[in-house]
């Protein structure tokens, strides 16, 4: 029997906290060992958008690390996390990751994923994009990261926001390499 995959979930202050929370829930259902790190603005936004406290959010993860704990296990490549997702990802966090500013645990863990050539998925949230945003997304992509704006697939005819979130989350879980993801497939017209 293989060990549960260690997946790092970062949550920043961009709109779309539901993606990060639902990822934690689904990864837990699939038996993943989740490591949560949330920026201060992420905590505020999770409370604003979803009504969850810091403790309620942390309870959804296997492990929760303070964003300032640069000595946490997820700050090292030797820890061996399988993958990381930042959901949602602010343009500030994107810029820090694109330029190697490991100035907090979230950006350091993302840097580790890139240097170790492990899967890093950034669910960037901003619109419209300016040239700096686009260049930072290009830089992360060139380093092996996956830029995944959470855009809904309307061809699946979602009936609720929850369905749109779930559809996106399942696609991300598949990208993270976690067994059991159930993204809806396009089978043509």
Q: Which residues are annotated as a binding site for FMN?
A: 13-15, 39, 90-93, 125
- CA atoms of 117 and 138, how far apart (whole Å): 16
The encoded tokens of residue 28 equal 């837990």
What is the b/e burial string over 122-150, where b = at least 16 CB atoms within 10 angstroms of the residue's CB? bbbbeeeeeeebeebbebbeebebbbbbb
Say how many residues make up the chain.
189
CB 77 within 8 A of CB 120: no
As a whole number of angstroms, the distance between CA 50 and CA 24 comes to: 14
124, 91 Cβ separation under 8 angstroms: yes
Please state the residue numbers annotated as binding site: 13-15, 39, 90-93, 125, 155, 171
């Amino acid at each position: 029997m293989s060990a549960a995959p260690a997946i790092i979930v970062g949550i920043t202050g961009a709109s779309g906290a539901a993606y990060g929370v639902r990822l934690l829930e689904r990864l837990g259902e699939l038996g993943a060992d989740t490591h949560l790190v949330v920026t201060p603005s992420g905590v505020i936004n999770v409370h604003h958008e979803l009504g969850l406290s810091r403790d309620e959010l942390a309870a959804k993860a296997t492990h929760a690390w303070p964003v300032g704990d640069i000595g946490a296990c997820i700050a090292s490549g030797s820890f061996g996390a399988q993958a990381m997702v930042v959901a949602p990802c602010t343009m500030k966090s994107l810029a820090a990751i694109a330029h190697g500013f490991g100035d907090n645990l979230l950006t350091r863990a993302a840097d580790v994923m890139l240097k170790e050539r492990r899967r890093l998925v950034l669910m960037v949230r901003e619109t419209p994009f300016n040239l700096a945003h686009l260049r930072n997304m290009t830089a992360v992509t060139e380093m092996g990261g996956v830029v995944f704006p959470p855009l809904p697939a309307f061809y699946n005819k979602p009936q609720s926001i929850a369905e749109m979130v779930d559809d996106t989350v399942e696609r991300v879980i598949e990208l993270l390499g976690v067994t059991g993801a159930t993204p809806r497939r396009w089978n043509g017209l």
